[in-house]
């Protein structure tokens, strides 16, 4: 069973990558399970053509003693199995609690033993690496982590924070960093910025997903790009990324940048922006 996490700042494109990679791996004949660990519960939206009931909602409605696998696991595009942890109502409770509840419930119901997936993908919010969102790292539910980022300074800041969490649990032998997924959707699209960041934190770039209106059109229809435009160049980019991560055996314990290192990188981004737009 190949198990990995996709982390990144909210809105950075985690779910876009996860949905398309899951569809691509399933297209290749693999049985895939996607576990959405974002309180927005939209990780599997393009695979399911809409939202599904979350683990937390079902937990509240039925109670844990009455829950069954079919209450929380749904089959989507290309046969991908989908689970959403969910979260509390806005302003009430801890969003990370949904991840903890989902992980415990998947174990209690024996989902992994029942489905026997070839690939398990966790889509996890990375704005803050609190206890709930770090649960897959703590419990070693995955072998490695991949971080989605753009050239935006705040996205890189979030990615660096995620590296701190990976470093903490990686030093205990629980998890490792597989690499960076470079999403070119930012106003600033400068690969050299990501190359500097990757070199600084001691990892590799797994692939780049360029900006494409095909992705936008597909998501407006609640579809993955793999389903909406299977023969497109961007669909092939997702296939290449999925295969690169599935086959990847090179992992590291990251060395997060210092505050000064982040400031230096931010200054280089600002300088590039000035040169490009002045």
**Extents of the domains making up the chain:** 2-277
Q: Was 217 annotated as part of a binding site?
A: no
Q: Was 14 annotated as part of a binding site?
A: yes
Mean pLDDT rounded to a whole number for the chain? 90
pLDDT at residue 277 above 70?
Answer: no
Q: Across residues 176-181, what is the average pLDDT?
A: 96
Confidence of residue 175 (pLDDT cuts 50, 70, 90): confident
The predicted pLDDT at position 136 comes to: 74
Q: Was 52 annotated as part of a binding site?
A: no
Helix (H) or strand (E) holding 123: strand 119-125
Tokens of 124: 């996890």
Helices (H), the chain: 14-27, 45-48, 55-62, 69-72, 96-108, 111-115, 135-138, 153-170, 191-201, 213-220, 225-228, 233-247, 259-277
- Decide which of 258 and 165 is more confident: 258
pLDDT at residue 1 above 80?
Answer: yes
The predicted pLDDT at position 78 comes to: 96
Q: Across residues 111-134, what is the average pLDDT?
A: 84
Residues sharing a CB contact under 8 Å with residue 210, sequence separation 6 or more, in sequence order: 184, 189, 234, 237
User: Which residues carry out catalysis?
Assistant: 9, 14, 40, 127
- Nearest residue to 183 (alpha-carbon basis) of 220, 210, 213: 210
Produce one character per residue of 162-185: b if its CB has 16 or more CB atoms within 10 Å, e if not. Answer: bbebbbbbbeeebbbbbbbbbbbb
pLDDT at residue 30 above 70?
Answer: yes
Q: Across residues 63-77, what is the average pLDDT?
A: 94
Contact status, residue 145 vs residue 177, Cβ threshold 8 Å: yes
The per-residue pLDDT for range 208-226, each reduced to its tens digit, is: 999 999 999 999 999 999 9
Contact status, residue 37 vs residue 252, Cβ threshold 8 Å: no
Confidence of residue 129 (pLDDT cuts 50, 70, 90): low
Contact status, residue 142 vs residue 33, Cβ threshold 8 Å: no
The predicted pLDDT at position 5 comes to: 93
The CA distance from 4 to 93, in Å, is: 27
Residues in the chain: 278
Q: Across residues 42-47, what is the average pLDDT?
A: 95
CATH architecture of 2-277: 3-Layer(aba) Sandwich (3.40)
pLDDT at residue 247 above 70?
Answer: yes
pLDDT at residue 140 above 80?
Answer: no
Q: Was 173 annotated as part of a binding site?
A: no
Give the DSSP per-residue string, 21-64.
Answer: HHHHHHHTT--EEEEEE-TT--TTHHHHTS----HHHHHHHH-G
């Amino acid at each position: 069973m190949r198990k990995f996490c996709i982390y990144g700042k909210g809105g950075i494109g985690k779910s876009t990558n996860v949905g398309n990679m899951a569809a691509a791996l399933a297209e290749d004949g693999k049985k895939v399970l996607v576990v959405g660990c974002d309180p927005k519960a939209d990780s599997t939206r393009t695979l399911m053509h809409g939202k599904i009931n979350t683990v937390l909602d079902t937990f509240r409605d039925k109670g844990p003693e009455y829950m069954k696998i079919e209450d929380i696991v749904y089959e989507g595009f290309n046969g991908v199995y989908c689970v959403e942890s969910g979260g509390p109502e806005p302003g009430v409770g801890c969003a990370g609690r949904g991840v903890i509840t989902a992980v415990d419930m998947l174990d209690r119901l024996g989902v992994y033993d029942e489905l026997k997936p070839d690939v398990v993908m966790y889509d996890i919010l990375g704005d803050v690496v609190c206890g709930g969102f770090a649960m897959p790292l703590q419990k070693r539910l995955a072998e490695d982590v991949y971080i989605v980022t753009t050239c935006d300074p705040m996205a890189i800041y979030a990615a660096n924070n995620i590296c701190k969490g990976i470093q903490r649990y990686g030093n205990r032998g629980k998890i490792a960093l597989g690499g960076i997924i470079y999403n070119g959707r930012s106003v600033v699209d400068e690969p050299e910025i990501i190359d500097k960041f990757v070199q600084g934190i001691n990892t590799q770039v797994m692939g780049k997903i360029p900006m494409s209106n095909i992705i936008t059109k597909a998501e407006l229809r609640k579809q993955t790009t793999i389903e909406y435009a299977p023969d497109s160049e961007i669909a092939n980019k997702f296939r290449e990324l999925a295969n690169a991560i599935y086959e990847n055996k090179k992992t590291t314990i990251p060395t997060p940048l210092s505050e000064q290192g982040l400031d230096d990188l931010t200054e280089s981004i600002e300088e590039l922006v000035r040169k490009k737009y002045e």
